[in-house]
Amino acid sequence: MNKDILKKLLAIEDESRRRAYFIAILSGEMVRRGADLPIVIGGEAVELYTQGRYTTGDIDLKGRKEVLEEILAEWRFEKRGRIWVSKEYSLYVDWLGGSLDEGAEAEKRTNIIALDGENEIRVISFEDLIVDRLCAAKYWKDQDSLMWAKNLMEILGKTGGSDRQYLATQAEKAKVADLLSSILPEEGGK
């Protein structure tokens, strides 16, 4: 990693911004080495979409393992099980597979967040992340996840980009349609 990029990363005091910038430079490096942009999922995706109102401790990524691990090793991250740790930057990267469990359609629906002119992050879609949080609420008994699913639903509603049919289909597949119906607004979206 370029020393200037390291200095810039260390200068970012806000942890959410530091993680976002790190993901962007990691993503860019992965692309330079022939991989697709990795996909941010889980708590880090919630944090990005809520602009830091939700906080997480690690960065959950889907992407090409060998490229990701090569880069993190070069950047002196230490591997602990499946987690890559940098105490120096207070960063924890958790590789969770090569592609989204939700399938090819979910891969097409990912969103790109541009941090600036040259740095971008690929994030799981709002709809798939809402279903993920509903699954956490139902199967892991994490009631905060239900609140965050509702929060994400409200944000999605404000953007006008909701695909209700896709959301309903994914919720049905995951057997969380009952929870989805409890957080859907009365009107709006498709």
Residue pointed to by tokens 């999922």: 41
Which residues in the chain are classed under CATH 3.30.460?
3-123
Q: For residue range 88-116, what is the model confidence (pLDDT) as tens digits?
A: 888 999 999 999 999 999 999 999 999 88
Question: Which ranges of the chain does DSSP label H, i.e. alpha helix?
Answer: 3-11, 15-32, 42-49, 65-74, 104-108, 126-139, 143-159, 164-173, 177-183
Domain 3-123 matching CATH 3.30.460: the answer reads yes
53-71: b (≥16 Cβ within 10 Å) or e: ebebebbbbbbbeebbeeb
Per-residue confidence in pLDDT tens, the chain, 190 aa: 555 676 788 888 888 999 999 999 999 999 999 999 999 999 999 999 998 889 888 999 999 999 999 999 999 999 999 899 999 888 999 999 999 999 999 999 999 999 887 899 999 999 999 999 999 999 999 989 999 999 999 998 888 777 899 999 999 999 999 999 999 876 544 4
Output the pLDDT for position 6: 65
Length of the chain: 190
Cα separation, 77 vs 94, in Å, equals 12
Output the pLDDT for position 189: 43
The token pair that represents 132 in the structure block:
């993920």
Q: For residue range 10-22, what is the model confidence (pLDDT) as tens digits?
A: 888 888 999 999 9
